[in-house]
Structure formats: C-alpha cells, structure tokens
Chains A and B, each alone.
Chain A
C-alpha cells in the first residue's frame, strides 16, 4: 500500500509533464490537422533555456529561489514561444495550401534541426543543474517504508493544475479561445467572420510552446540533468498521450498524459523498468483497438 502510494505520486508527477507537452500536440492537430513532430524538441529547448536562465541568475548572485523560479519560468515561456512561433512561420505556414504530408516532413526536419542545433550550440554531454528545490514531506511511515512527496513534486502538480485551469478557461470562455475553436472547426468560415486565421494558428503554436517550456523547466528541476535528446522520447510519449486521450481533445491530452505517466511508473515499480515503454505503447494499441478516437476523442455528430 505504501509502495503503491509512493508510485502513484511519482506517476502523477511524470504524467503532469507528459500532459503539458501533449496539449501542444493536440492543439496543433486540432487546428491544422498535422502532427508537429518538432514539438518534443520545443520542450527540450524549453529545458535548455530554463537551465541557461538559472545559471545566469545564479552567476548574478540571485539566491532567493522563488523569485529565481518565477523569472526562469517567464523567460523560458517567452523565449520558447518565440521558437514555436518561428518553427510554424518557417516550416509549416509556407506549406499550408500544399499536400498534407508536406508539413509532416518539414516537421521531422525541424525536429532533427533543433536537436542538432542544440547539440552544436550546447554540446552533446548531459547538462546538470544543482538541486534548486529541496525538501519535502513524509506522508506516512509504516513497516519501515516512508511515503514521501517532495516539494518539487508538489510544485509540478500544482503548477500543472493551475496552468490547465487557466488554459481551459481561456479556450472555453474568451474570444481568443472561441476564435481558436472556430478555426479548428471551419477555417474558411472563421475567416469570413473576421478571424485572422494565420494569427490564430501562430498563437496556437505559441501557447503550445509556452506550456512545453513549463514542462521543460519542470523536467530540469525534477531530474536535474538534460541533454539535446530528451525531446525525442518525451515527445513520443506525449504524442502517445495525446492519441490515447483522443487527439484534438484538451482534457484528453491531460488525461492521456497522466495515464501514460502512471503506467510507466507502475510498470517500472512492479515489473521491469526495461519494458516500461512497451507497456505504455501497448496500452495505446489496446485503447485504439476498442476506442479508435481515443478515450475522450469526439466522433463527429453532424447533421447535414
């Protein structure tokens, strides 16, 4: 029981990170119907920018951690958003009227480019960050086993829940969110109503990248080491999460993220850690067999 509880906490933490990345996949798919394969690498960029920002702040002598975190968070979100915006502008927008596979191929190209760019600019070796947030709480202690939740885990979960709440509100209730959904459902009609479709698509990339930047920062704080390759596997996992939850669905992306995080953690805890990815991807296959549109995906209900 104690062991289970501990793994649950670990799984939810990992799942939060996947969920935040998965939103970027699902939103972009929703609005332009393509899988942005470079999104995992945007997450990696977010982690690197966070690291660089931390190191700069530390060299400036800023030791008050909450303030440093806030600054890093904001800087990472802004700079990573600029990357997301640029990727869309350079690699996808020129191909918007082209055949469907074209932007998919440039997405893979972008992914490879970003990895190599960071590898050259930052070196191939793993980059460590000293623990920034330490400490935690013991939830219970029994039979010599302690269940702990660390401050960083609390931070990750709280931040994720807060961001999800804000983000869901923006999409559901604001004119911006409405315009975004309108573009998802009928781009031409949205433009007839005065929505600047290109700008809305850009904004979708910016929001997705900002959330990925938060995920990158949390990954950095949680694991303490990053390298240029972390975006690949995290990206595949988050993509799996988005498909599992129902691609195009925002709550689905979050739910999928949590499920993938939990499966991976529990599989590693109770079976073998080597096969955790197999377990996660098998789950995807099983769900898709029975629910082809994912857990919360919506089959079209439309009268013509």
Chain B
C-alpha cells in the first residue's frame, strides 16, 4: 500500500472554533479512515454540530488544521469543500422549504455527474420509498421524519466520498431510527462509503460505528472502538443509563 492510501481520509488536528467570544471547540484531534464509520457522541451543546460545520468552514477553525484526502481544507470556502466529495446532512436538516422533494434532490446532485442522476434517484427512492410518493410536494410540508430522510437522500445524491450525518436519529420514531441506521451500515458495507456521524443516541451510534469519540464541552475526552466505548463505565453513566 502506498503512503497516500494509508493516510486517513479526514484528519482534524488541534482545531478550535468560536461563536463570537464563546469557544465551541477546544483543540479537537480526530481522524476518519477510508471505509470507516466513525461517530462522535456527546451531550447537547458539547460542540458536535459545530465540529460538523467547522469541517465545512462555518465557523472557520480559528486554530488547527483540517485535512481531507491530503489537502488542507481549513481555509477553503464551503462550496469548494463540497466539491472535494464531502456531503452533509446538517443539524436541523435544512431542507429547502419552498422547493419540492425532487428539487431538493436535484440540488443535492448539483455537483454529481448528471449521467448518474436517474440511477441515484432510483437508489434513494428504494432506500426511502416515502420520498418517491412525496416527490412533488414542497420540502416544508414534510413531517420531521420525512425531512430527515430527505436530508440524508439529498446528501447521497452528491455521490459523496465522505458522508457527514448530524443526528440522523433526532426526533424519529425508533423504527425509523433503526431503518436509517441500517441504511448507513448497508452503504458502508456494500459501497465502502466513509461515514462520520454525530449522535446523542449513543447506544445506536456506537453499535453502528467502527470507532467513536466522546466530546465534552468542546473537548475530546475519550476515543476507542465502538465496543470499547460502549463498555466504558463513564460512557454508560453519562450517555446510556436512562438515556436510550
């Protein structure tokens, strides 16, 4: 294997980020390897979503470096980062409310080769059949769960090399959570898609992920394989007991 292939797909080195004067991330270090599912768990307000957005430069990392596939993307504008093959289903889903489901998916595919559009569309409709039924409905009229599916589908339409999911289970019925996590596992196993997801739903996330990190007040306090973290007393006490 060449040196390039051994290098992690995403490296975050000593990143700090601020909202105004409030520091949201403190010296965060983490990596995601090719073909891995990595999760970041943490309580509400720990900085998980900030980390997701900081990868896209919003807010920009005030110190440290973010390297994707060997390229320093720390200072790049968000649209150029997207062009490198990163796609995100962000916090709050951010569906375009006055666009139809189909137009939202077309927006997702804006950077992808149009040649694959039909096939990709079929695929996301297979994964989330409800979207096919709703394709001409405006995004803003979908239920929370449907919006979540649309946000993930929209990210997939970009044919990303690296998929970022911010709390895909938020506000969903348990059955849907299982369905979405199954989809993520399938994409990872069958297509080798690299996934980084942040979750409050620590139990599911750690079971799904190869590796995990724990974020507390903007700082990474623990890391390890999914099973290791699940077995740790501190993790169980803080994120699992009574919280699942």
Interface, chain A (partner B; CB < 8 A): 175, 178-179, 181-182, 185-186, 188-197, 298, 300-303
Contact = CB atoms under 8 A, between A and B. Distances in A.
A182 B104 CA distance: 9
- For chain A, what secondary structure do more than half of its interface residues adopt (helix, strand, loop), or is it mixed? helix
B110 interface: yes
A194 B99 contact: no
B136 interface: no
B58 A188 contact: yes
Contacts of A192: 56, 78, 82, 87-88, 90, 94
B79 A195 contact: yes
Contacts of B87: 192-193
A178 B82 contact: no
B110 A175 contact: yes
Nearest to A195: B79
Interface stretch (B138-146, B174-182, B206-214): B138-146
Contacts, number: 78
Interface of B: 56, 58, 77-79, 82-83, 87-88, 90, 94, 96-99, 103, 106-108, 110-111, 138, 140-144, 147, 154, 158
Contacts of B56: 191-192
28 contacts: A175-B110, A178-B103, A181-B96, A181-B99, A182-B96, A182-B99, A182-B107, A185-B96, A188-B58, A188-B78, A189-B96, A190-B107, A191-B58, A191-B77, A192-B56, A192-B82, A192-B88, A193-B82, A193-B108, A193-B111, A194-B79, A194-B83, A195-B79, A195-B107, A300-B140, A301-B140, A303-B141, A303-B147
Given A175-B110, A301-B141, A303-B141, A191 B97 contact: no
Looking at A179, A188, A191, A300, which has the most chain B CB atoms within 10 Å of its CB? A191
Contacts of B77: 191, 196
B110 A179 contact: yes
Contact of B158 (A181, A189, A194, A302): A194
Looking at A175, A185, A193, which has the most chain B CB atoms within 10 Å of its CB? A193
Contact of B98 (A185, A188, A193, A303): A185
B121 to A, nearest CB: 15
Contacts of B83: 194
A84 to B, nearest CB: 22
Given A188-B58, A301-B140, A302-B140, A193 B97 contact: no
Given A189-B90, A192-B82, 10 more contacts: A178-B107, A185-B96, A185-B97, A188-B58, A189-B94, A190-B107, A194-B82, A195-B79, A197-B79, A303-B147
Contacts of A182: 96, 99, 107
B107 A193 contact: yes
A191 B57 CA distance: 11
A189 B53 CA distance: 10
Nearest to A200: B79
B158 A186 contact: no
A195 B141 CA distance: 24
B110 A181 contact: no
Q: Top 6 closest A-B pairs, CB basis?
A: A194-B82, A191-B78, A194-B111, A189-B94, A302-B140, A185-B96
Looking at B58, B97, B107, which has the most chain A CB atoms within 10 Å of its CB? B107
A298 B98 contact: yes
A224 B143 CA distance: 57
Given A178-B103, A185-B98, A189-B90, A196 B110 contact: no
Contact of B79 (A175, A185, A191): A191
Contacts of B90: 189, 192
A186 B103 CA distance: 14
Contacts of B110: 175, 178-179, 193-195
A179 B109 CA distance: 11
